[in-house]
């Protein structure tokens, strides 16, 4: 099995981080976010044209009579209490039904985050301990020389065929090294 190169691993990590950030970051629709007190004031002044209440996300989105979009965050009980105390029949009210997403799909971002953290931990532990080879942090000064075994067949000058000049030059170098 082919191992990932360093660049491939970092690109894969970058893609995972971007996907995790994409799932975590709130995807707003770009409407003007106002405080709930401001929404109450606009409601009482009949400046609200329509609203849509999303109980699951605790958000009230709507449009004002001047055409501007708005959204506000509110607890469901507080919203219901305010609307029941101050009814306004001129406003078009809609309720966003809760989504029915399976629990295992809701858990995917959390599981991916845990897997990424464990992957980083494993990767760095392998790098610091050597990773099973001579590529670790503490192995930079260790020799990679192999031991010579005496029972291994040795190659002599007579084994090399057809390289007479090279044999002579090599013999001269060996003689010089033996007797400088």
Residue pair 79/60 in contact by the 8 Å Cβ criterion: yes
Domain boundary assignment for the chain: 6-25+103-133, 32-96
| pTM recorded for the entire structure | 0.43
- pLDDT-derived band of residue 161, with 50, 70 and 90 as boundaries? low
The CATH number given to 32-96 is 3.30.720.210
Rounded Cα distance, 42 and 71, in Å: 12
Mean pLDDT of the chain: 80
The answer to whether 26 and 36 have CB atoms below 8 angstroms apart is no
Task: Quickly state the pLDDT bin for 27 (edges 50, 70, 90).
Answer: low
The confidence score (pLDDT) of residue 14 equals 85
């Amino acid at each position: 099995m082919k191992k990932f190169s360093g660049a491939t691993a970092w690109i894969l990590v970058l893609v995972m981080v971007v996907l995790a950030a994409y799932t975590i970051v709130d995807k707003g629709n770009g409407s003007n976010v106002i405080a709930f007190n401001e929404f109450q004031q606009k409601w009482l002044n009949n400046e609200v044209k329509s609203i849509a209440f999303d109980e699951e996300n605790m958000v009230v989105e709507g449009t004002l009579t001047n055409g501007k979009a708005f959204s506000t965050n509110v607890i469901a009980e507080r919203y219901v209490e305010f609307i029941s105390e101050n009814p306004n029949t001129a406003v078009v009210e809609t309720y966003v039904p809760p989504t029915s997403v399976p629990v295992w799909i809701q858990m995917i971002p959390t599981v991916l985050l845990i897997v990424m953290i464990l992957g980083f931990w494993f990767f760095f532990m392998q790098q610091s301990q050597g990773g099973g080879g001579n590529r670790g942090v503490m192995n930079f000064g260790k020799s990679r020389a192999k031991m010579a075994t005496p029972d291994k067949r040795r190659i002599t000058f007579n084994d090399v065929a057809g390289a007479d000049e090279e044999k002579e030059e090599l013999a001269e170098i060996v003689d010089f090294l033996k007797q400088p």
